[in-house]
Every structure is written in structure tokens, then in C-alpha cells.
Structure 1
Amino acid sequence: MVKDHGGVFQLGPLTLDVTEGVTCLVGPNGAGKSTFFRLAAGLEKPSSGTLELHSDPRTGRAAALGFLPQDPELPQGATCEEFLHYVAWVHRVPARHRKEAVATALGLTRLTDRATHKIRTLSGGMIRRLGIAQALIHDPALLLLDEPTVGLDPRQRIALRETITSIAAHRVVIISTHLVEDVRNLADRVIILDTGEVVFDGDIPTLEGKADPDAPGDTDLERAIATLMGAQE
């Protein structure tokens, strides 16, 4: 797959097969992370090549996709359950199943006790969890989370990472992040992009083995990411 932005920037060629678990997509600004997410979410089409969603192994039917953009716009005057009922309708969840789908999404994101609260009363961490709930409402096999922990305080990030881990057991979850702590605490697999190319694809122990001892950072993981993100300079 290739996405060419008029000769100014090109993502790819990429050949990736992403499987169940959490894959963290890492890279500097301008590396192509946002382009990858827009392509994966179906908001843009590749210049060449294809993206294909395999059938959902849980059902054998065509896989559904859930997407949390970096800055979701949520209706502040609605309650959590009102908003999720609307999103369920948008995703054509059958009317007889919507109440259960909303309850399940709230439970998975630990927001059951906030079901009747107005969205404007939620903390930043709760709003992120509600964003994940709306992405989960139709039980997708693929979940795309664009910078889900950005702007959160340490306790909120920990709570959100616990939520992501709990929902990733039987789903493909792809997270865009620039936070090393997210990578360390979430990733089963790490893909590092630099100037539109994949410069690393593997697990954390393998990634740590790439660290240049002279690269900036306090840990092997930080040094390895810094090393690889500078590989194309």
C-alpha cells in the first residue's frame, strides 16, 4: 500500500498484517501516523495497493471497525447512554440489541456508574473512555485509537491503559502514540514509522536490542525509539 500526497509526502510502500492484541504505532510528527489511521479508518483511499479487513474470527462474518480520533467531538448536553444509543443507531445495531450493546460498552470502559451523567460533567479520562465506548458499540474486530492518552494526567493514563488492555484480548487494537510509557505498558507489537517508512516492526525486547547507548533517553526502550526514529535522517 502507498499513499502519495502530491509528491510532498509518501507513506509506504507498506506491507503489514496486523493480528489480535495491541499494536503501537510510533513515530515523530510527520512520520505518517495520521495518514495511516485515515487510510485504516476508510477516511482516505491509498494511491495504490489495498487495505483489507479479514473476516471476524469470532463470527466468521465481515469484520467491523471502530475508530477513536485524537480529538473526538462529543455532544456535551447528552448523557453517556443517550450518546451511545445514538452511535448504536448510526452503526445499525438492531433496536432490540441496543440497550445491551450500550450496557456492554459502558461496562467494558468502566463507565456504568456514569450512564445517566451529562458528558460535560465527565473528567478528561472519562471522556476518553467514553470515546472508546462509542468505538466499541457495534463490537468491532478492529479498534483504532489515535493518541488516546494525550493530555491525561498520570492516574487517568493508567486507568485508560487498563481499559485498553481489558478489551484487546480478542480484538485487533492499533494505537498511535508518542508516549514511551504507553508502548511499554500496552504493546504486544511495535511499529515505528519515520518519513513514511517502517523502520521497525517487532516486540519490545527486540526493539530494546536496537538501542544505541549514545542515543538520548533514560531506558533502552527510549534510546531504541530515538535511535530508530533518527535512522532516516
Structure 2
Amino acid sequence: MELTLNQVHKQFSAKKAVKGISIRFNHGVYGLLGSNGAGKTTLMRMICGILNPSSGTIHMNGEEISHMGERYRDMLGYLPQDFGYYPDFSAEEFLWYVGSLKGLSLHAAKGKARELLQRVALSEVARSKIRTFSGGMKQRLGIAQAMLNDPSVLVLDEPTAGLDPKERVRFRNLIADLAKDKIIILSTHIVADVEYIADQILVMKQGALLMTGTVEQLTAAMEGLVWTCHISSREVEEWNGRYCISNLRHEGDQVELRIVSKVKPADRSTTSVVPTLEDFYLYHFQDEQAAIAGEGK
């Protein structure tokens, strides 16, 4: 099974939202990482056939998806970022309803709903109203509805937004379990969401594909760019203006800084340290983070 994008562009009036992306997806989890506005949602909507590319092609097993119609939709499961629920439906009623929209008989929808609610750990609340669910429970129900047609391709747009840490871990474990025989494409701006489960990470910036690779490959590219040093607390503001600081920890009268920089900070205590994916993200998106901070002033 292979999903292939070849020089995919998307233009909205004067704005080019996606710029010439080419990538091949096979079985496994792909983390689409980038800041808000990077073009992740637009790309995913094109993969799902909701939007057509302005130019370029998307193929599933060698056939262009725009020519496949219902055959491609039957292979696809999608959880959009702002998924609409019917609050007065129970979890099982909601899945029966979505199943009918996907062409399942009521008998088949009931059987599939029972199986999926157990898989996403919601079987005990199958008859509870959705309005009583936490954010994490709703997201797991969203995964269940996307799985009703047993899709080969599962597309999840910012699925952990608003979840607490415990729910995020539960969600990541669920995705890892589902990935055995599927293509799963998960977009996020939360580094930890992809760091632990993604087989490949695709980094998007301003509509373009900046880099792809495993966590190990991306962090290896940061060797010699991450440092720690100790300074006095009165120097923190000055150093914060000079460097990209990824972490700050007080140790008595001293402050330990973790710095992402091409240039070794000028301090005798500076040592090079092993980079993380968060360091990688900050290094490549520090200009956008600075712009956001400036808007808040």
C-alpha cells in the first residue's frame, strides 16, 4: 500500500498555502509537525480529497485519487480538528448514525460500534450522552468514527489539542496500536505527540516541507547546536535577548540555561549537550515564536 504526493501545491487567492510537496507514505505513523498556519490542515484536506490541489497529483497505489471517487473514500478515515458531535446522542447512537452515513447496515454498524468502543476504552460509557464526555473521551470517540469503515489511511488533524497529559498518553498508545497495518498521518504542533510514536516526521514551515526523517535523524542534525551554561540570575534577561533559550532552571543564586544556537555561548561553563526534538523545533521555528511573543506585547 502506498500513498504518493507529487509536487502538490495549493493556492488561495494571493496566498500559497502548500508549496510543491512530494512524499510517499507506506504503513506506519507519520507525524506532520509545524506551527499553526504552516499548511498542515490544507495538506491533510487535500489528502482526504476535500480540497483539490491547485497543481500536482495525489495517487493511491498508483491511481490518482480524484479518479477513484467512492473507492478512495472507502479506504479513508478522517478526524478533522474541529469535529462536530451531537451532544444528546449516546456514544453508540452516534457511531450507528455515522455508520449509516458510511453505508453500513444497522446490524453491521452496531457490531462495529461495539468492537470500536471497546478498542478505544469507551465501552463502559457506550450509552452515556456525549455532552457528559471529557475532551479526551470525545477524541477517542472521534477515532472510533474514523475507523468504522476499517480504513487503510487514517488522517488525524491536531487530535490531542486541549487534552490533559494523561489523555495525551492514552491517545498516543491507541494510535501506536492502530498503526500495525495502516497509514496514519497525524498533524500537530505539540512535539511530544510525534516524538514517541511517529515512524517518520514531516516538518512543515510556511507551506513547504522543510525536512523529513526519524526522530534520531532530525536530532542528529542538531549536534553541536545545543548548549547548557550557568549564569547569575541578574544576567537572565540579557541572555534571553541574545539566545534562543529552550529551558531555564534556578539552582540557588545560579541559573542553568539550555540554549539552541549555531554559535557557542560565550561563558566558561558552556558545554555541548545531546539535542532533543524540541530543540530541533525551536531552532527551526524560533523566528515564528519570537513574532508571536512580539504580538503579545
**TM > 0.5 fold call:** yes
Tell me if structure 2 keeps the 8 A contact 1:108–1:167.
no
Deviations 1:81-133 (A, max 9, x none): 10001111111124442222112221221111111111111111101100110
Write the letter of the residue equivalent to 1:150.
A
Q: Which residue pairs with 2:226 in the alignment? A: 213
Distance (Å, rounded) in 1 between the aligned partners of 2:87 and 2:176: 27
Q: 1:49 to 1:74 in 2, by over 3 A?
A: same
- In structure 1, the residue corresponding to 2:156 is in which secondary structure? strand
Pairing partner for 1:12 from 16, 19, 22? 19
Q: Which residue pairs with 1:129 in the alignment? A: 140
- In structure 1, the residue corresponding to 2:180 is in which secondary structure? coil
Q: Which residue pairs with 1:58 in the alignment? A: none
Distance (Å, rounded) in 2 between the aligned partners of 1:229 and 1:15: 22
Deviation at 1:231, TM superposition (A): 9.1
Deviation at 1:151, TM superposition (A): 0.6
Tell me if structure 2 keeps the 8 A contact 1:217–1:223.
yes
Are 1:227 and 2:240 an aligned pair? no
Distance (Å, rounded) in 1 between the aligned partners of 2:177 and 2:102: 23
Q: Which residue pairs with 1:69 in the alignment? A: 80
- In structure 1, the residue corresponding to 2:59 is in which secondary structure? coil
* Larger RCO, structures 1/2 (Cα 8 Å, 6+ apart): 1
Tell me if structure 2 keeps the 8 A contact 1:144–1:175.
yes
Distance (Å, rounded) in 1 between the aligned partners of 2:32 and 2:17: 17
Q: Which residue pairs with 2:38 in the alignment? A: 31
Distance (Å, rounded) in 1 between the aligned partners of 2:155 and 2:47: 8
Q: Which residue pairs with 1:192 in the alignment? A: 203
- In structure 2, the residue corresponding to 1:15 is in which secondary structure? strand
- Percent identity, aligned pairs only? 35
Unaligned ranges ≥5, structure 2: 1-7, 63-70, 228-243, 248-274, 289-297
Deviation at 1:19, TM superposition (A): 1.3
The list of structure 1 runs, each at least 4 consecutive aligned residues, that deviate by more than 6 angstroms after superposition, is: none
Q: Which residue pairs with 1:120 in the alignment? A: 131
Write the letter of the residue equivalent to 1:115.
A
- In structure 2, the residue corresponding to 1:117 is in which secondary structure? coil
- In structure 1, the residue corresponding to 2:209 is in which secondary structure? strand
Q: Which residue pairs with 1:158 in the alignment? A: 169
Pairing partner for 2:178 from 147, 152, 167? 167
Are 1:54 and 2:61 an aligned pair? yes
Deviations 1:19-72 (A, max 9, x none): 1111010112221111111111211100011212238xxxxx856111111121
Q: How many residues align?
A: 228
Larger strand fraction of residues: 2
Q: 1:69 to 1:31 in 2, by over 3 A?
A: same
Tell me if structure 1 keeps the 8 A contact 2:18–2:39.
yes
Tell me if structure 2 keeps the 8 A contact 1:106–1:112.
yes
Tell me if structure 2 keeps the 8 A contact 1:32–1:195.
yes
Are 1:82 and 2:111 an aligned pair? no
Distance (Å, rounded) in 1 between the aligned partners of 2:27 and 2:246: 30
Q: Given the two structures, how large is their TM-score scaled by the length of structure 2?
A: 0.72
Q: 1:92 to 1:129 in 2, by over 3 A?
A: same
Tell me if structure 2 keeps the 8 A contact 1:141–1:172.
yes
Tell me if structure 2 keeps the 8 A contact 1:192–1:229.
no
Tell me if structure 2 keeps the 8 A contact 1:216–1:222.
no
Unaligned ranges ≥5, structure 1: 56-60
Deviation at 1:230, TM superposition (A): 5.7
Q: Given the two structures, how large is their TM-score scaled by the length of structure 1?
A: 0.90
Tell me if structure 1 keeps the 8 A contact 2:117–2:126.
yes
Q: 1:223 to 1:216 in 2, by over 3 A?
A: farther
Are 1:143 and 2:143 an aligned pair? no
Q: Which residue pairs with 2:113 in the alignment? A: 102
Write the letter of the residue equivalent to 1:47.
S
